[in-house]
Chains A and B, each alone.
Chain A
Amino acid sequence: MSATLAPTAPETRSGLVQAASEVGVIWLGLFALGAGFGVLVTSHGLPWWLAPVISASMFAGSVEFLLIGMFATATPVATIAVTTFLVNSRHLFYGLTFPLHRVRGRLARAYSVFALCDEAYAILTTKDPDALSSSRITWTQFGLHASWAGGALAGGLLGGLIPDLPGLDFILTALFVVLAIDAYRDRPDRVTLGLAALAAAVALLVAPGSMLLVAMAVFTVTLLIRHHRSRHA
């Protein structure tokens, strides 16, 4: 892993430093949320080691919280499969525009796809792709991944010893608010923002339980129509 994740020493250091200075606070936040997940795992009567194992192998926060309850009650695997598919289907849209072409090395690229969570997509697609180095991308993702799994390990082991600070999960809301402002300032595209707002409203009305999936699907359809119309205008 190290050979492809770390192409050259200087680039690696600057990639790590860039990633840490940019999103280090998000890593801390994910560690805290991961700890909350670890506590939840043991409170369901499941072994502590399951928390880091799930978080390291899956790295998809929202569905993990759902699956814990299902694992604990030995829910049929088919139900688990359908739930995972529905909750994570929104990821089908991320790969279309994620700057994977900036990642060098097969192993690093495979890792980058594996670790393509909401936060990684939002953080990395709002940057100019040409300014993103391979190591900055992989370090950003590895930092998110390691923080989440490390937090789960700490929460699983220490359980109730970890104080529960209410409101700490706001850190991800803050991240998306900041990134949305940055993305708009970068490219003040009111049509896109309007279409996204429309898609979100439709999804909240029609399918509040699968809001992200429905909103992303509706939004993508509106973009396809917009593309088609702009070509034939």
Chain B
Amino acid sequence: MPEPGYLALALGVAVAITVSLRALPFLLKKPIEGSALLADLGRWMPLGAIGILAVYCVARIDFAAAAHGVPQVAAIAATAAVHLWRRNALLSIITGTAVCVALSLVLG
């Protein structure tokens, strides 16, 4: 096991950087608080950022694995279909995850 002093320093640095990155935009945006720019970003950014996070999840699927990404792709289709049909986030997430787990067990 590495030295406790090293672990404390390494973790402390990683935490400080993470917290700074989260706090910085709140300080940086102070001068443009209430501006048309911030209003536009507030209107546009969430949808795009969540879309990017969704694409990221798809891009991380390992198509070379034993199941060739079939469980994940089928589960995304199931999640979207159930959500468009019933509009119930909980139901959509549980259905999609169940599909992914079941297919991973069968095909994995």
Contacts and interface: CB of A to CB of B under 8 A. Distances in A.
Contacts of A85: 17, 21
A173 B2 contact: no
A97 to B, nearest CB: 5
A57 B11 CA distance: 9
Contact of B47 (A89, A196, A211): A196
9 contacts: A58-B15, A88-B17, A168-B101, A170-B71, A174-B76, A196-B47, A200-B56, A200-B59, A223-B41
A57 B53 contact: no
B50 A183 contact: yes
Given A116-B22, A167-B105, A170-B97, A96 B52 contact: no
B22 A91 contact: yes
Interface in B70-108: 71-72, 75-76, 79-80, 83-84, 89-90, 92-94, 96-97, 100-105, 108
Given A170-B100, A173-B57, A122 B15 contact: no
A181 interface: yes
Interface residues of A, number: 86
A206 interface: no
B22 to A, nearest CB: 5
Interface stretch (A1-9, A11-19, A70-78, A149-157): A70-78
B43 A187 contact: yes
Interface of A: 22, 25-26, 29, 45-47, 50, 53-54, 57-60, 63, 67, 70-72, 74-75, 77, 80-81, 84-85, 88-89, 91-97, 100, 113-114, 116, 118, 121-122, 125-126, 165-168, 170-184, 187, 189, 192-193, 195-197, 199-200, 204, 208, 211-212, 215-216, 219-220, 223-224, 226-227, 230-231
A175 B80 CA distance: 10
B56 A212 contact: yes
Given A125-B46, A223-B44, A199 B29 contact: no
Contact of A181 (B15, B41, B55, B80): B80
A167 B52 contact: no
